[in-house]
Amino acid sequence: DTGVSQNPRHKITKRGQNVTFRCDPISEHNRLYWYRQTLGQGPEFLTYFQNEAQLEKSRLLSDRFSAERPKGSFSTLEIQRTEQGDSAMYLCASSVSETQRNEQFFGPGTRLTVL
Amino acid sequence: AQKVTQAQTEISVVEKEDVTLDCVYETRDTTYYLFWYKQPPSGELVFLIRRNSFDEQNEISGRYSWNFQKSTSSFNFTITASQVVDSAVYFCALSGYQAGTALIFGKGTTLSVSS
């Protein structure tokens, strides 16, 4: 399967703990995005990478959140000192670089539950 | 500011009925992209279509058709002869014209097709 993959698929943690999610984009895509989706809402943009450079961050990305893409391939999203309000589905998407079409292909998501 | 409104929260139809999902958007950009995504119960967002702002030609793909009207800022999606497998949440989204820009999603319309 050559789609976007995300791990883990589910994560349950206690408030105050740190969590890290991983995203592996489609191999030829050099653009990578993170979104967050809460129940009954559409996905909301968090941050965007082109290769290893983080080019855009939403104001939703508080200082407890950090994202990296060290070698321009996979990306990690870390949440420190989790809060119950962080409970959501975290989605990763990737898109090709050679065109301007901006079609983003999504992974299955990581569902985070903070107890 | 960019905004996408999907006024229909839930729609229920019986198999073989036609159904139209509404999408209205707001943007100050003169060029932009519009998208539809499907999110089945499994949770993974599936890309359906991309339309750029200067192409108002309607598009048909099998049982799916899209009606883009720039004058009313609408990008509606029609499923003809609906099937149970069409049951999902459908999202309309908007982005700037440059690749790498965030998708702005509506809140989605939940379509339930019963047999």
> What are the pLDDT digits (tens) for A54-110?
999 999 889 999 999 998 899 999 999 999 999 999 999 999 866 657 889 999 999
> What's the whole-number mean pLDDT along residues B92-115?
92
Sign of the torsion angle spanned by Cα atoms A77, A5, A25, B103: negative
SS3 B84: helix
Which residue in A40, A56, A89 is closest to B107 by CB distance?
A: A40
Give the per-residue pLDDT at B46: 94
Nearest chain B CA: its distance from A27 CA (Å): 17
Q: Is the distance from CB of A33 to CB of A107 less than 8 angstroms?
A: no
Position B37 pLDDT exceeds 90: yes
> What's the whole-number mean pLDDT along residues B69-91?
96
pLDDT confidence band for B94 (50 / 70 / 90): very high
Position B66 pLDDT exceeds 90: yes
Q: Is the distance from CB of B21 to CB of B109 less than 8 angstroms?
A: yes
Q: What mean pLDDT, rounded, does chain B reach? A: 93
- Give the Cα separation of B23 and B76 in Å (integer): 5
Contact B107 A91 (CB under 8 A): no
Maximum pairwise Cα distance, chain A: 43
Nearest CA in chain B to A45: B102
Nearest chain A CA: its distance from B108 CA (Å): 6
Q: What values do phi and psi take at B86, rounded to 5?
A: -80, -10
The CA-based angle B73-B76-B77, given to 5 degrees, is 160
Query: B44, B48, B109: which to substitute to probe chain A, counting the most A Cβ within 10 Å?
Result: B44
Nearest chain A CA: its distance from B8 CA (Å): 13
> What's the whole-number mean pLDDT along residues B41-63?
88
Give the per-residue pLDDT at A2: 79
Position B115 pLDDT exceeds 80: yes
Nearest CA in chain A to B49: A103
Position B24 pLDDT exceeds 90: yes
